A and B are shown apart, each in its own frame.
Chain A
Amino acid sequence: MARFLIRRLLQMVLVVFVLSVMLFLWLRALPGGTVSAILGERATPETRAALTKALGLDEPIWVQYGKFLWRALHGDFGTSTRVLPGADALDIFLTRLPATIELSAFALVFAVALGIPLGYVAARRANSPVDSGLVILSLVGVAVPVFFLAFFLKYQFAVDHNWFPVSGRQDNLSCTRITNFFVLDGLLTRELDCSASALKHLVLPSIALGTIPFAVIFRITRASVLDVLGEDYVRTAESKGLTARVVRGRHVLRNAMLPVVTTIGLQTGLLLAGAVLTEKVFNWGGIGNALADAFQYRDYSVLQILILAAALIYVVINLLVDISYAIIDPRVRTR
């Protein structure tokens, strides 16, 4: 296990390094750039030159990269030029990350809490009308684009009926911020109205973001349970007189969960990507929103840390999935 972990960690470092080089080169190869984005119509050759020099963008790209790498190794990822000018890029990432995690977590809870039970029910009643209905529902869930669903939910339930807020993470209640997980902060400080408001803001985006993972988890659970139900050991367990509960819990579900866990892991990674769209539609102050802003204004420092961090998170989640594999299925460990 230790050797396995070390090898994976080394791979991770390499992946992040290579990505950082490619990202650095790619961002600077983009047309336009920070200087034009800041100066706009007002740019004169003199102000352009002065700003380019002040931002260190006049140096050869390898020098720029070397400086970036040196600073990054010391925990300094540069300063934002537009998302929050003057703020440390790492700070921006750290204040925005909880928003995205909060949204992704609720979306995932929605997807798992609905996907696994419904998948199990559908498998148990395979080919019944209930099963067909659920399968069709999941098909729709996969097929509907996130942004369309997000717009639809917003229009129906926020604009037309004032049941939920249109956008944002919380009403303007002057809440105390501790972790920047708004629901948690409200609980910690006993500002329960803050938590309630945050929850209310979470409903529509979570559903919008969670629908695809829900559909995928549902289908994998259904298929996997169906598979396991036909296995010899299930029949053996049933015939040796174990109660239905034990058979289901210990033999069917446990064995059927393996592919589901993989799927949840992969979907968690995808959630971060899907969050960009959902955050845009619901004006959610998370990573996705910051990424869009940073890209529009060519805020290099913020773009770099956001993309690198997203990649890192993806890699780490994959690692965790592999580890959980090893825990659920001991055979993997020996490999």
Chain B
Amino acid sequence: MTLKRTAPLVLLTAAALSMTACAESQRDDSGGSGGGSADSNVKDTFTFGAAGAPELFDPLYATDGETFRVTRQIHSGLLGIKPGTADIQPELAESWEPSDDGLSWTFNLRQGVKFSDGTDFNAEAVCYNLDRMYNQKGAGQTAAEYWTYFFGTFSDDPENSLYKSCEAKDANTAVVDITRTTSSFPTILSLASFAIQSPKALEEGDANNVKAQGEGFTYPDYSMNPVGVGPYKLASYDEANKTVNLVANENWYGEAPKTKNLVFKIIPDESTRRQELQAGSIDGYDLPNPVDWKGLKDAGNNVEIRDAFNVLYIGLNPERNPKLKDLKVRQAIAYATNRDQMVKTQLPEGAAVASQFIPPAVSGYNESIQPYAYDPEKAKQLLQEAGAEGMTLKFAFPTEVSRPYMPDPQKIHAAFTKDLQAVGIKVQEVSKPWNGGYLDDVSANGAYDAWLLGWTGDYNAADNFLGTFFSSPKTNDFHTNVLPWGQQLSDDLKKADAIVDEDERATAYQDLNQQIVEKYLPAIPVSHSPPALVVSDKVEGLVPSPLTAETFDTVTVQK
């Protein structure tokens, strides 16, 4: 070898050596055994297989379930969710009461609570947070999607905002004023997005500094360094190794987490999650495919079935296909489809045929409504009466997706297509990828006569389902503005939502549910399907939540 040829090699070696010299291990070896349980039979780490990476850790700007799963462990809201149910319970607020007109709410706060950075939680912190959300500017408004969805607008458009103001009466009392009465308030304060975070950390991390930049948003430092009130706090997000590490928050007011370290290992592929569980490298994961439930159980794992908090429906667009304007045709579709059999053969254990558009756990559910029976003869007769025999229906389903309410859209679609053809409807079958234009075609483009879609509730309020579907007749997916009762239904739903008294409101919704299914039938409710999560037989203390809002501080893992 000549000198010339070896020179690069020498340089490389030198470079490597010099890097060695400056490459200090930054490993934190302080993590001894303190905290958690002293029981030596349990592990100090619970590892959960997550289906996706968290977007960021400031829940105000978060939009997806994988992110909220993490932020729920490190943040709390004024209101919490009672484990195992969809009902609200006190969290940072110990109690709350409305004024007589329902427009002013007084929250009595829990005392002696500290954020994970050691600063005090109090009424000022509550108002600071709510005002912060309300005062979003520019790109922050677009990024704060949940605020837009549930509160409407921001401080630059106060007329259309549900939120009005917040006042710290004293250290432990916050008074929140809103602009109209709605069943959603204060329940929406239990949503992960509206968690109360440390004002000091928000300030120092320039938390509101969201910018639109080149086809995306940039987020401030704070979004990766969250400070909240929760059983855990963020230790590190190892992006290169796709792992989120949480550690017990020593400033947490409640009982210390049973397991000190909580690790989310990001494994997008469902079968890989299953194999990791089988190999023992994770302790559990969310949304196992229903076809695997039995195999997982046989292998000794615990499949925890949540209560169904969703609805699958066949959407109908009478504007695109005028034949659908006739109630008889819509009813014929309901009678023609064998939903009972579909539920039995295709949906997991615990699924049920839907008689209305809200699941049984939601207040306002009407027990007395019977689902449309499977009756192809009646369907044929109704079609004949409506002069719609042999009608064509462009019926769509999404591909490349599995939703909790719809594990396998293609199979469900195939079953219903057969049913519809059996009563003489000509079905034009179409599909599109979920992220490849399906939702655009359903909503913005109105490109289908009928389609499969569903909804998972955010919180326990009928409005979260019915309001989402059938309000705003001009823009809703069902184009109810071309039906004679479209505006009426929308108005009635708004009226019901504004009733302050809970029992009175529930009765109003029960009536509305009956009218929607029997008189209007803008779409066909199909089923409620319970999502599950699975943990190994060594895991104890996990309480499945219908809202997929589990907190993991009660979990222990046997060695």
The answer to whether A79 touches B27 (Cβ under 8 A) is no
Q: Is A238 interfacial (CB-CB < 8 Å)?
A: no
Closest 3 A/B residue pairs (Cβ): A31-B437, A79-B216, A78-B214
Which residues of A from 68 to 97 have beta carbons under 8 Å from B? Answer: 68, 71, 76-86, 88, 95
Given A95-B239, A158-B275, A283-B272, is A174 in contact with B216 using a C-beta cutoff of 8 Å? no
Closest B residue, CB atoms, query A298: B435
B residues in contact with A68, CB < 8 Å: 214-215
CA distance A297 to B440 in the complex (A): 14
User: Within residues 474 to 503 of chain B, which ones have a CB less than 8 A from any CB in chain A?
Assistant: 475
> Which residues of B sit under 8 angstroms from A297, Cβ to Cβ?
435
Pick 11 A–B contacts, CB within 8 A, sort by A.
A31-B433, A31-B437, A32-B432, A43-B443, A47-B148, A78-B215, A84-B53, A85-B56, A166-B281, A167-B272, A176-B26
| Residue in A38, A47, A76, A188 whose beta carbon sits within 8 Å of that of B23 in the complex | A188
Contacts A38-B145, A81-B216 aside, 18 further interface pairs with beta carbons under 8 A come to A41-B439, A45-B475, A51-B142, A57-B215, A80-B216, A85-B219, A88-B218, A162-B279, A165-B279, A169-B240, A172-B47, A172-B243, A188-B19, A189-B26, A191-B25, A285-B240, A301-B215, A301-B216
Residue B28 is within 8 A (CB to CB) of chain A in the complex: yes
- A296 beta carbon closer than 8 Å to chain B: yes
Q: A84-B239, A281-B272 are in contact. Are A37 and B435 (CB under 8 A)?
A: yes
- A176 in contact with B217 given A32-B438, A188-B20, A283-B269 (CB within 8 Å): no
* Minimum distance in angstroms from B263 CB to a CB of chain A: 6
Q: CB within 8 Å of A: which of B407-437?
A: 432-433, 435-437
Chain A residues near B212 (CB-CB < 8 A): 54-56
Closest CB in chain B relative to A173 CB, distance in Å: 8
Contacts of B432 in A (CB 8 A): 31-32
Chain A residues with CB below 8 A from B440, complex form = 31-33, 36
Chain B residue at minimal CB-CB distance from A67: B214
Task: Specify which of A82, A165, A187, A283 lies most central, judged by the most chain B CB atoms within 10 Å of its CB.
Answer: A283
Interface residue tally on B, bucketed by range: 35 or more
A86:B25 contact, CB within 8 angstroms:
no
Which of A54, A71, A190 has the most chain B CB atoms inside 10 A of its CB? Answer: A54
When chains A and B are docked, how far (Å) is the Cα of A56 from the Cα of B440? 18
A44 within 8 A of B: yes
- Is B444's CB within 8 Å of the partner chain A? yes
Q: B279 contacts A36, CB within 8 Å?
A: no
Check A166/B215 contact, CB under 8 A, given A31-B440, A172-B238, A191-B25.
no
Mark each residue of chain A from 280 to 294: 1 if its CB lies under 8 Å from any CB of chain B, else 0.
111101000100010
Given the complex, which residues of B lie within 8 Å of A154, measured CB to CB? 275
Complex CA gap A277/B23 in Å reads 33
Contacts of A125 in B (CB 8 A): none
